[in-house]
Structure 1
């Protein structure tokens, strides 16, 4: 099985995340896309980041009606701070019959050469790159790389930061969230 790994804090997950992941699942050779919820780093100030399990619950609620989308808490049990290469190594041990690919925005690809063991990641994994609103120049070493695929996914201008700010300001953000996520946020009074 081919799995695309979509990493993020998903604080909260919104329709932009869901639209992008579903588009990639439907328009690529991936069988599933896993939303890998990034845990709270013990070295960073919490600010408005919800608890790991609350964010996982939102991802679960957002993806439960989609066959090709799955929540993942795989990084919750790994040492912090965690690096993508460590997560990939762990996933290979746990799921030896799966093939894992990374899903990232073109802005992340720009700094990919700074990632720990990025050469090993590229050697063993495909990378699916989706466009961002701000055009970023791709580093020449990644321009025509055989393991890097540019996906012509819809460009989403929505951000979790914007949603949190709007909630705090008392605005109605219901259309920006999957229905089950909105119900959970409203019930729990998050971000107010």
Structure 2
């Protein structure tokens, strides 16, 4: 009896499928690796665009709010920067998760089989190394891009109090807490 792929079936059991072919398995692994690296690069590009958008929009709205002495307009700036900050953090988490997967699934096994030569993902896997190398030039600026508009807008908006200002301050405060909670929760992946 023959199976659908033309292989002879003995004793009612099918022979192993194409997944048992080492060449197929290695091609599949290579395709997975390349796809995930491409996805990481795309997410990094999107993150850069989001950072530029956040700085541009927040600065413009903050400038208009100061120029017009409008508390509600001032408080739109932190709303935008915190929403984009949360989205940037989400991208960072996805990038970190995919990088960790590649390190565990590909880099570590390849390093062990090649006599211990370290790949980039393995060298950067220590959270202390990542934090030391990225805190000042990367993490602090991203955090400030997200929270600085709130630090500037809140005191300025208090000069023009009305119910809209209080409402927007509550929303901005809630987003600030959400951003801090997400940053704390996913700190090891960013």
TM-score (norm 1): 0.22
Higher strand fraction: Structure 1 or Structure 2?
Answer: 1
Higher helix fraction: Structure 1 or Structure 2?
Answer: 2
Give 1 or 2 for the bigger CA radius of gyration: 2
